[in-house]
Chains A and B, each alone.
Chain A
Amino acid sequence: MRRSIRVSGTIFVAAMLCFLPAAVFAQANGGPRMDHENTLPPEPVGPTPMAPDGHPDLTGLWNGLADNLLGVPNQMHNVGIEVGPDSTRDIHSGVQIATWPLQKRKPQNNEQNERAATLLRRMGSNRPIYKPQYWQRVKDFDANSNEEDPSNNCMPAGVPRMGVPSYIAQTPTYLVFLYPGQGGLIATATSYRMIPTDGRKHTNLEDLDGTWNGESIGHWEGDTMVIDSIGFNSTSWFDQLGGYFHSENMHVIERLHRDGNTLTWTVTVEDPDVLLEPWTTTPRVALLNPNPKAILDESLPCSERDFAHVVTKEHH
Chain B
Amino acid sequence: MPMQAGTLKEIAGKALVIAALAALFFQGARGQSNSSKASAGAKTTPATAATADDANKSSTSEVADTLKVAAEAVGLARWSGVGGQRLPEVDVINTMEIWGSGTTYVYNQSNKPGEPGAAVKTEYHAALGYNPPAMRVEMTRSSSGAPAQAGAVTQRTIEVVRDKYAWDESEIGAGLVPGKGTATPSMASVSNRLLQLWTLPYGAIKAALAAGDKTKVTTENGAKVITFPLSGQLAGVTVKATLDAQNEIAKVETRTDNPALTNLITETEYSDYKDHGEIATDVKSPGHIVRKQGGHQVLDIQVKILDANNPYLVFPVPENVKNAAAH
Q: Which of A's residues lie within 8 Å of B, judged by CB?
A: 4, 15, 18-19, 33, 35-39, 68, 71-73, 76, 81, 83, 85-88, 90, 93-106, 108, 112-120, 122-125, 127, 129-133, 135, 138-139, 142-143, 242-243, 276, 312-315
Minimum CB–CB distance from B143 to chain A (whole Å) comes to: 28
Cα-based distance from A88 to B174 in the complex (angstroms): 34
B310 touches A119 (CB 8 A): yes
Cα-based distance from A131 to B314 in the complex (angstroms): 10
Contacts of B173 in A (CB 8 A): 131-133, 135
Q: Point out the residue from B78, B88, B91, B282 that lies within 8 Å of A85, measured CB to CB.
A: B88
Minimum CB–CB distance from A274 to chain B (whole Å) comes to: 11
A125 touches B132 (CB 8 A): yes
A116 touches B176 (CB 8 A): no
Minimum CB–CB distance from A5 to chain B (whole Å) comes to: 13
A119 touches B25 (CB 8 A): no
B180 within 8 A of A: yes
Minimum CB–CB distance from B290 to chain A (whole Å) comes to: 28
Cα-based distance from A68 to B86 in the complex (angstroms): 15
Minimum CB–CB distance from B98 to chain A (whole Å) comes to: 14
* A102-B3, A113-B82 as given contacts; A130 in contact with B314, CB under 8 Å: yes
Minimum CB–CB distance from B289 to chain A (whole Å) comes to: 22
Contacts of A130 in B (CB 8 A): 314
Q: List 26 A-B contacts (CB under 8 A).
A: A4-B280, A37-B87, A68-B83, A72-B80, A72-B82, A73-B87, A85-B1, A86-B17, A86-B88, A94-B32, A96-B21, A97-B91, A102-B3, A102-B86, A102-B88, A113-B81, A119-B310, A120-B80, A122-B94, A130-B314, A132-B172, A133-B180, A138-B312, A312-B279, A314-B279, A314-B280
B83 touches A15 (CB 8 A): yes
Cα-based distance from A129 to B316 in the complex (angstroms): 8
Minimum CB–CB distance from B14 to chain A (whole Å) comes to: 5
A72 touches B85 (CB 8 A): yes
Minimal Cβ-Cβ distance residue in B for A92: B131
B28 within 8 A of A: yes
Among A39, A87, A112, A124, the one with the most B-chain Cβ atoms within 10 Å of its Cβ is A87
Contacts of B42 in A (CB 8 A): none
B85 touches A98 (CB 8 A): no
Q: Point out the residue from A18, A98, A116, A125 that lies within 8 Å of B79, measured CB to CB.
A: A116
Cα-based distance from A138 to B95 in the complex (angstroms): 14
A98 touches B280 (CB 8 A): no
Contacts of B91 in A (CB 8 A): 88, 97-99
* A99-B89, A131-B176 as given contacts; A242 in contact with B21, CB under 8 Å: no
Minimal Cβ-Cβ distance residue in A for B78: A116
Contacts of B85 in A (CB 8 A): 35-37, 71-73
B279 touches A37 (CB 8 A): no
B245 within 8 A of A: no
A96 touches B22 (CB 8 A): yes
A88 touches B90 (CB 8 A): yes
Encode B1-19 as 1/0 by CB contact (under 8 A) with A.
Answer: 1110110000100110110
Contacts of B88 in A (CB 8 A): 83, 85-86, 88, 99-102, 105
Cα-based distance from A4 to B282 in the complex (angstroms): 13
